[in-house]
Structure 1
Amino acid sequence: MFERLFKLKEHKTTVRTEIMAGITTFMTMAYILIVNPDMLSTTGMDAGAVFTATALSAVIGTLVMAFAANLPFALAPGMGLNAFFAFTVCGIMGYSWQFALTAVLLEGIIFIALTFLNVREAIINAIPMNLKHAISVGIGLFISLIGLNSAGIVSTGKFHIGDGQLGGLIVQLGEITSPSALVALFGIVLIGVLLAKNVKGAILIGVLASTIVGIPFGVTDLSSIQFNGFLPPSLSPILFKFDFSNIFSLDMFIVLMTFLFVDMFDTVGTLVGVSSKAGLLDAEGRVPNAKQALLADAVGTTFGACIGTSTVTTYVESASGVAEGGRTGLTALSTAAMFFIALFLAPIFLVVPSAATAPALVIVGLFMMSPIKEIDFSDFTEALPAFLTLVMMPLSYSIADGIIFGVVSYVLLKVFTGRYKEAPILTYILAALFILDIMFLK
């Protein structure tokens, strides 16, 4: 059955490899089950209900990815987008969470329409090949930074410039002798050794071993395992709670456009970057079944808004499953199954600390560096945009911003060197939209 549905032999993979990869992907992104309810609850939403909505939206979006696109990518409410939902729309702008959910619903509906019209797929194809390789590398650096920071191995530190004025944030060495950092370092070394010995499931073994090692260090908190029955919290406090009274306001337009831009290019970046690493891009640099993949996050977002959560997007942590050998929708199906199980056994799954999942992100970041060898560094009109793409993702803490810097600089360099014919028309349109985004939505 699995062979018929997912064409495992064609993709040179096995059921065991795909299931292990799916579980690994879940382990590296399960933190969203903790973070999303906590973040959205600051808006007045019921945290328990948001937990259920988070898990269910991940299940639905990932199932669509599995069966419609046959790709090894998982979906869930996106980080960054949930922060914008909670702290900007409901915080700074002062709107209700019902208003924000309405914006997410409209975004999802628009994305479904754009997907069927092939607009989003065309955008993917308009990104130059060198930038696609750079996106993979940039995502690798980005998720490594996430892992190192979550474990406390690195941290952000403040510095001062001129007359004692406060400057920006830089990354600096964290408290590497702290229990959390030591557990993460143990995991990184262990996974490295297992990989060197060609042990299958090395990343998952490293995550589980780090969780166990974290117990005596106090990093893994077993006391947090509290069973209050096996039924997930009710969705009723947030189910279909929309506010259409302000849908024609300027603020709604700004909020909607921000959701659209960030989600579109985070998803595009993840699909291209992880597909590049997995060797799934075709000879022309196109993501296979891109239309179906984009439909998955559009459906997930629309469904998620209806049951009460922020924008659903393709997760960069899918790279961890790809690194474990995941190549088909069976990986995504396995991840979806884990999210469904998490609905009923949340305390057990959530006991895995971030220090234990950090090694997986760091190692995957290493794996995603390999496409850098495919970038043409001999041509500066190709090399500089690629460099800006990969370096701006971790520095700006945004996949979308990395793509913006890469595409805009690519167009400018091609134009000012008289090689404007090398860039497709749609690439120029993308650059123009990005510039408008910077001017009016940033």
Structure 2
Amino acid sequence: MLDNFFNFKENGTDFKTEILAGITTFLAMAYILGVNPTMLAEGGMPVTGVFFATALSSGIACIIMGLVAKYPVGLAPGMGLNALFTYTIILEMGNSWETALAAVFVSSIVFLIITISGLREKILNIIPIDLKLGIGAGIGFFLAFLGLKNCGIIISDPSTFVTMGILLNPPTLLALTGILITLIFYIQKVPAAVFFGLLATAVLGVILTLFGYGAGDALMPTIPKQIITTNIDTSLFFGFSKGFTQLFSNIPNLIMMVFSLVFVTFFDTTGTLMTVGRQCGFVDKDGNANGIEKAFLSDAVGGIIGSICGTSTVTAYVESATGIGIGGRTGLTAIVTGILFLLSVFISPLILSLFTSSVTAAALVIVGILMVAQLNEVNWESKIVSASVFMTVIIMVLSYSISIGIAWGFLTYSLGTIAKGKYKEMGIGIWILAIIFLAYLFFGL
């Protein structure tokens, strides 16, 4: 029955390979179970509630991807999107987390409409590819900065704004050691390098705590007495319903939030699905991917599920390439990944106690490295492009805001194009975005 549904023979795989691929993909993605609650908690959300929302929405979204699109792709709250959710929409714009969840819900509906209506190709043609790459790389730098800041490697300074922290401080030293361990795993191409790096760092933290180094420090992990739990925090379920009033009370703010979420989700998802689709052999020489519209549909539905459960936007993960790398070719891989996410709900005390900010710093830095690699494809010979990408990256990090970085990048590109005398080539879409970003930066709209 499974062979008939997933076409194992046609895709050059079998049941055992798909199971192993699903487990591998889960291990490569499992770091999000520790990173996401830590990050969203800074926006005022309860850690246990975010963990449940992360595990549940990821599990359901993966299973939908496996059944509907039959792609071996795992889904979870996106890195970069969770930073946009917490540090820009909540902390920088001053919205409540309920309003932020409402924005995720609306943006996911918009993404679903874009997918169903067939507007994806037209939108892809509006945004210059170099800007897309620059924004992705900028988010990578931003994530790495967050990781270094949260663990104390980088701290504030009244004279220079930022400086290096005290590396011998136990939580900071643990984070630095974890980054080095994970980096070694990554360089050695160890499967699920990020997850095993986190696990090794957490175990080291427990050992240090047992020997009295950092004992009592909230940043150091401790072993929970109750590893298996039946107390599931569902307090965030449908939490977005309380945020609609504030969301629609400021239309310019609504537009900026939804646009930022849709923009990042759209290009992150497109890049991921095309990448893994090509690795699976689903993409032909003309760039057409077999069944990719169903994969986009599954991704859009996953975003809606994430907002309902109470987390930032759920999207496809490029870490799915690890499972594909050992032979995963069908939706069964995604289903196995989803089941493992659902089962992780019952060991939340263990995961939340081990994956603290000192431990998850390594994941943020390594994911940042992966995202920054996009700069290789930027056309640096173009002065307009190089200036736009540079401004996107540096403003995103220094302003502590993904949306402000995007705005500066677009305005720099628009100004450069006009100065070059090529304003007729910009297109109506770029003009509209430039006007919106101009109003956003100078008038706070």
Query: What TM-score range do you get, normalising by the shorter chain?
Result: 0.7 to 0.9
Secondary structure at the counterpart of residue 355 of structure 2: coil
Residue equivalent to 1:187: 178
1:215 alignment partner, one of 206, 221, 237: 206
| Alignment correspondent of 2:410 | 407
Per-residue deviation, 1:260: 0.8
The CA distance in 2 between the partners of 1:375 and 1:86, in whole Å, is 31
3-state SS of 1:366 partner? helix
CA contact (8 A) 2:144 2:368 kept: yes
| 8 Å CA contact retained: 1:184, 1:358 | yes
1:244 Cα shift?
9.8
Aligned to 2:367: 364
1:150-299 map, 5 Å: 150-159=150-159, 170-218=161-209, 220-226=220-226, 229-230=229-230, 232-234=232-234, 239=238, 242=241, 246=245, 251=249, 253-254=251-252, 256-271=254-269, 295-296=297-298, 298-299=300-301
Change (3 A) 1:69 1:185: farther
Cα distance between partner residues in 2 of 1:225 and 1:182: 26
Comparing 117-126 and 209-218, the one that deviates more: 117-126
Displacement of 1:209 in angstroms is 1.1
CA contact (8 A) 1:34 1:51 kept: no
Distance in 1 of aligned mates of 2:140 and 2:244: 42
| Letter paired with 2:26 | G
1:337 equivalent in structure 2: 339
CA distance in 2: counterparts of 1:232 and 1:431, whole angstroms: 45
CA gap of 1:53–1:195, structure 2 versus 1, over 3 A, is: closer
Q: Cα gap change, 1:278/1:135 in structure 2, threshold over 3 Å: closer, same or farther?
A: farther
Q: Distance in 1 between matches of 2:155 and 2:143?
A: 14
Q: CA shift at 1:380, angstroms?
A: 0.5
Alignment-mate amino acid for residue 124 of structure 1: L
C-alpha distance in 1 between matches for 2:408 and 2:10: 37
Change (3 A) 1:61 1:144: same
Aligned-pair identity in percent equals 26
**Paired residue for 2:351, among 345, 349, 352?**
349
TM-score, reference length from structure 1: 0.74
Q: Bigger shift: 205-214 or 143-152? A: 143-152
Shift of 1:321: 5.8
Letter in 1 for 2:420: T
Give the aligned residue type for 1:380: K
Query: 1:361 offset after TM fit, Å?
Result: 2.7
Q: For 2:142 and 2:332, locate their aligned partners in 1 and report how far apart those are by CA, in whole Å.
A: 26
Question: Residue 112 of structure 1 aligns with which residue?
Answer: 112
* Aligned partners of 2:57 and 2:302 also within 8 Å: yes
Change in Cα spacing, 1:336 to 1:251, as seen in structure 2 (3 Å) is same
- Cα-Cα RMSD: 4.4
Q: Tell me by how many angstroms 1:285 deviates.
A: 9.3
Q: Does 1:303 align with 2:267?
A: no
SS at match of 1:382: helix
Cα separation, partners in 2 of 1:176 and 1:7, compared to 1, 3 Å: farther
1:20 maps onto 2:24 in alignment: yes
In 2, distance between residues paired with 1:103 and 1:199?
37
Distance 1:179 1:34 in 2: 19
Contact 2:54–2:76 under 8 Å retained in 1: no
Task: Quote how far apart the aligned CAs of 1:6 are.
Answer: 12
Aligned match for 1:373, one of 368, 372, 376: 376
Give the TM-score normalised by the residue count of structure 2.
0.74
Flag structure 2 segments of 5+ consecutive residues without an equivalent: 210-218
1:25 is displaced (CA, Å) by 2.0
Count of residue correspondences? 417
Q: Distance in 1 between matches of 2:42 and 2:373?
A: 36
Task: Confirm or deny: 8 A CA contact 1:40 1:50 kept in the other structure.
Answer: no
Q: Is the 8 A contact 1:133 1:371 kept in 2?
A: yes
User: How far, CA to CA, are the matches of 2:198 and 2:139 in structure 1?
Assistant: 21
Counterpart Cα distance in 2 of 1:263 and 1:228: 35
CA offset at residue 324 of structure 1?
8.7
Query: Match for 2:342: what amino acid?
Result: F
> Matched residues in 1 for 2:303 and 2:83: separation?
13
CA distance in 2, matches of 1:286, 1:401: 34
Q: Secondary structure at the match of 1:368?
A: helix
8 A Cα contact 2:191 2:322, kept in partner: no
Quick one: distance in 2 between partners of 1:319 and 1:400? 23
Q: In structure 2, what is the Cα distance between the partners aligned to 1:96 and 1:376?
A: 38
1:81-134 Cα distance to aligned partner (Å, 9 max, x none): 356776689xx67x895x776665545444433432344553333221222332
**Counterparts of 1:177 and 1:150 in 2: how far apart (Å)?**
15
Which residue number corresponds to residue 418 of structure 1? 421
Q: Which position in structure 1 is the counterpart of 2:213?
A: none
Distance 1:81 1:441 in 2: 18
Q: Specify the code of the residue in structure 1 equivalent to 2:164.
A: L
- Residue in structure 1 matched with residue 82 of structure 2 by the alignment: 78
Kindly indicate whether the alpha-carbon contact (under 8 Å) linking 2:144 and 2:365 is maintained by their aligned counterparts in 1.
yes
Q: Matched residue of 1:226: which SS?
A: coil
